[in-house]
Amino acid sequence: MDVADIRELTDPQIRERIAELREELFRLRIRAAMMQLENPKLPREIRRDIARMKTVLGERRKVLAAAGRGEGTVDAA
């Protein structure tokens, strides 16, 4: 999944997608243990998608925290 596509999703949608990908990754690990993976690179791609989604969520939290503290504004002293 591309970062631009992830940024279009809402926070709840991203969290839901992360949960789905974690479940899929779990199933793939089981299949890999039984040597039944058709695409051995798929678990890596899923892990990277999860990391991208977590990064976007972290960026959003950081922006909200900065806005809450009033960073970027000039105080009249």
In this predicted model, which residue has the larger pLDDT, 69 or 67? 67
Residue 12 reports pLDDT greater than 80: yes
Entry pTM: 0.83
pLDDT score at 2? 92
pLDDT score at 77? 45
Give 3's contacts (C-beta < 8 A, 6+ positions apart). Answer: 52, 56
Question: 2: closest CA among 75, 56, 43?
Answer: 56
3-class DSSP assignment, residue 72: coil
pLDDT score at 73? 54
pLDDT-derived band at 71, boundaries 50, 70, 90? low
Domains (ranges, CATH) in the chain?
3-69 (1.10.287)
The token pair that represents 27 in the structure block? 């199933």
On average, the pLDDT of the chain sits at 91
